[in-house]
């Protein structure tokens, strides 16, 4: 699914360049569940966002199937993200003045998009995640665990092949963390979603089939 060759990312700091990734070579197999681990500043989130087409690498190649992602024009890259990638973030990034239902509908109302009725799809997803009675609630009216489930439903809105999760349990207690990890495992096992998850938690990493450890921008193990 992903073929990454000698991927590097350098941020230009006013004193000296900062290497976030250094010659990372890695493949992500379809249907896999991978945890990216490592200390803070090791390049985990930079690698994840590069997979999602959100950070332009400084050098190297990143292919998704036959697509050379960073040779795509900006509009094609945006279409790729909307169609193929679902993002689940630690901070949820829900729109505060929209209901749970409206937040899940957002990715489905992109200009020119055709397909099933967004409200029907969002209703089905929220129901699958146990939020049938919370569809009209604003984010502030939901618990932290419920907000993360809304974020997962939104990530699934366009039926992506890949879910990229950045510390999806970082704000949750152990019981809620297990709940979210159970959902991700089920999506991987039953729907064949490819999941790449950044985590500091050994408990969360242990739920993935594969772990990739980064240190100072390089693959350590």
Would you call 189 helix, strand, or coil by DSSP? helix
According to DSSP H, which parts of the chain are helical?
A: 44-51, 74-84, 100-105, 118-128, 144-155, 174-191, 202-205
CATH number of the domain encompassing residue 212 = 3.40.50.300
Range of the domain at 169: 2-219
Give how many domains the chain has, as a whole number. 1
pLDDT digits (tens, 9 = 90+) for 181-209: 999 999 999 999 999 999 999 999 999 99
pLDDT digits (tens, 9 = 90+) for 87-109: 998 888 999 999 999 999 998 98
pLDDT digits (tens, 9 = 90+) for 116-155: 689 999 999 999 999 999 999 999 999 999 999 999 999 9
pLDDT band at 114 (very low <50, low <70, confident <90, very high): low
For residue 137, the tally of other CB atoms under 10 A from its CB is 16
């Amino acid at each position: 699914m992903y073929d990454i060759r000698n991927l590097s990312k350098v941020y230009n700091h006013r004193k000296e360049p900062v290497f976030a990734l250094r010659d990372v070579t890695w493949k992500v197999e379809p249907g896999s569940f991978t945890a990216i681990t490592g200390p803070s500043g090791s390049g985990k989130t930079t690698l994840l966002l590069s997979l999602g087409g959100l950070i332009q690498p400084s050098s190297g190649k990143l292919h998704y199937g036959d697509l050379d992602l960073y040779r795509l024009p900006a509009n094609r890259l945006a279409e790729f993200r909307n169609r193929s990638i679902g993002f689940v973030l630690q901070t949820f990034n829900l729109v505060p003045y929209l209901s749970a239902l409206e937040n899940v509908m957002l990715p489905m109302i992109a200009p020119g998009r055709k397909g099933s009725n967004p409200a029907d799809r969002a209703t089905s997803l929220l129901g699958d995640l146990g939020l049938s009675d919370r569809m009209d609630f604003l984010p502030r009216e939901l618990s932290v665990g419920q907000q993360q489930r809304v974020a997962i439903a939104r990530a699934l809105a366009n039926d992506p092949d890949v879910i990229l999760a950045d510390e999806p349990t970082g704000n949750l207690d152990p019981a809620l963390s297990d709940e979210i990890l159970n959902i991700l495992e089920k999506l991987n096992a039953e729907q064949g979603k490819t999941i790449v998850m950044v985590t500091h938690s050994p408990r969360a990493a242990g739920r993935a089939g594969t772990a990739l450890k980064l240190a100072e921008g390089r693959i350590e193990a």
